[in-house]
Amino acid sequence: MKHPQVIDQERGFPLVIDPAAVGLTHPGHKALTSWCLDHTADLNALLQRYGALLFRGFGADNREALSSFVNKVFGEPAAYVDGNSPRTKMSEGVYTSTEFPASETITMHNELSYSQQWPRHLVFCCVTPAASGGETPLTDGHALLQALDPDLPAMFREKKVRYIRNLHGGSGFGPTWQETFETEDRAAVDAWLAQGDAEAVWQEDGSLRISQVREAVVEHPETGHEVWFNQADQFHPSQLGEDLYEAMMTLYEDERALPIFSEFGDGTPITTEMVRHIKETALQQAVRFPWQRGDLVIIDNMRIMHGRMPFEGDRKILVSMV
C-alpha cells in the first residue's frame, strides 16, 4: 500500500485508503470489492492493526453498493435482532444509522454490546453528508479504559451491568418487541433469549420485560487487550434529562419499569456521576472526521466505539452488521 495515512496521528486511526493507495486507476465500489477479495489477508491485517478503515473515493453512496460490498467481502450480514436503536430496514442486512433527532448527540458505544450476540464489524456508507456536523466519532475501547478513573473499571469488572428493557406490544413508549426481534412470533423470541440466559417475562398487557447481566470489560480476541465494552450509560435514566425523567416517572412507579434501564449486576445503582464521567471521557478520546459522499467505513465493533454528533441539513448514513 502506498503512503498510508491516518486521520488522527496521535491516536493512530482510522486508516484512510483511497484508490491511488491500492493502485486502482479505475475507482468505484466494484473495484474496491475486487481489491478486498484479492487481498483478504491484507484487509484483515489492516483491520487488526488500525481497528477502523476509511475507504474514500470509491463511490459507495447507495444501498446497493453497500449491500454488494458486504455480501461479497464479509458474507451475509446480520439482522438487527435485539436492537434498541430506532432505525429503518432498507433491505436484508442494510439499515439506516440511528434515527435520533438531529440536535442530539449519540454517545459512544459498541453496537449490541448489551445483547447475547453482537456484530464483529460494522460497515457504514455515506449516502448524504450533513450540511454541517453529523460526524461519527470513533473511540478506541482500550484507550478509553486507560483514561477512565481506575476505580470505575474495577467496579464494572467486578459487578458487571444489568440491562433491563420493557418492550411494549404495540402501545407505549420505546420500541415494540416485534420491532426489536423482527418477528411476530413469541416462541421465536423466547427461544432466542433463552440462548443468552436472559430473564424474560411476558406481561398481561402483551409487553415483554427482559433482564440480562453482561460483562462491562472484555478481552479483545485478537489484540488480547482489555476493552471497555458496554452500553451502561445509554441505558441509564440520566440519559433522559431532568425534565423528561420527571415526566416519565409520573407514569412509572419504578425506574426498572422504564423502557430501558441499567444498574450494576448486583442490583446496586450506577450513579449519574459515573455516567457523566464515562460519556465525557469517551468523547474526549474520540477521533472525528467529516463524512464525504461515497465514504465507506469498516470498524472493529469490539475495539472501536462509535457515536454521532448533532447536525444540520439532510444526513443519510447506512450500516450493515457482520
Kind of pairing, strands 260-264 and 217-219? unpaired
Is the confidence at residue 164, as pLDDT, over 90? yes
What tens digit of pLDDT does each residue of 250-302 get? Answer: 888 789 999 999 999 999 999 999 999 999 999 999 999 999 999 999 999 99
* Angle of CA points 102, 108, 113, to nearest 5°: 120
Which of these, 104, 92, 55, 95, lies nearest to 299 by C-alpha position? 55
Domains and CATH numbers, the chain: 5-136+288-321 (3.60.130.10), 142-281 (3.60.130.10)
- CA torsion, ordered 16, 101, 179, 135, to nearest 10 deg: 10
Is the confidence at residue 321, as pLDDT, over 70? yes
Q: Which residues contact 120 (CB under 8 A, 6 or more apart)?
A: 300, 301, 302, 322
CA distance 259 to 240: 11
Q: What is the mean pLDDT of residues 81-86?
A: 91
Q: What is the mean pLDDT of residues 247-251?
A: 82
CA distance 321 to 149: 32
CA distance 94 to 91: 5
Is the confidence at residue 1, as pLDDT, over 70? no
What average pLDDT is seen over the chain?
Answer: 94
What tens digit of pLDDT does each residue of 185-236 get? Answer: 999 999 999 998 899 999 999 999 999 999 999 999 999 999 999 999 999 9
CA distance 81 to 229: 19
Q: Which residues contact 36 (CB under 8 A, 6 or more apart)?
A: 43, 69, 73
Spatial contact of 212 and 163, defined as CB atoms under 8 Å apart:
yes
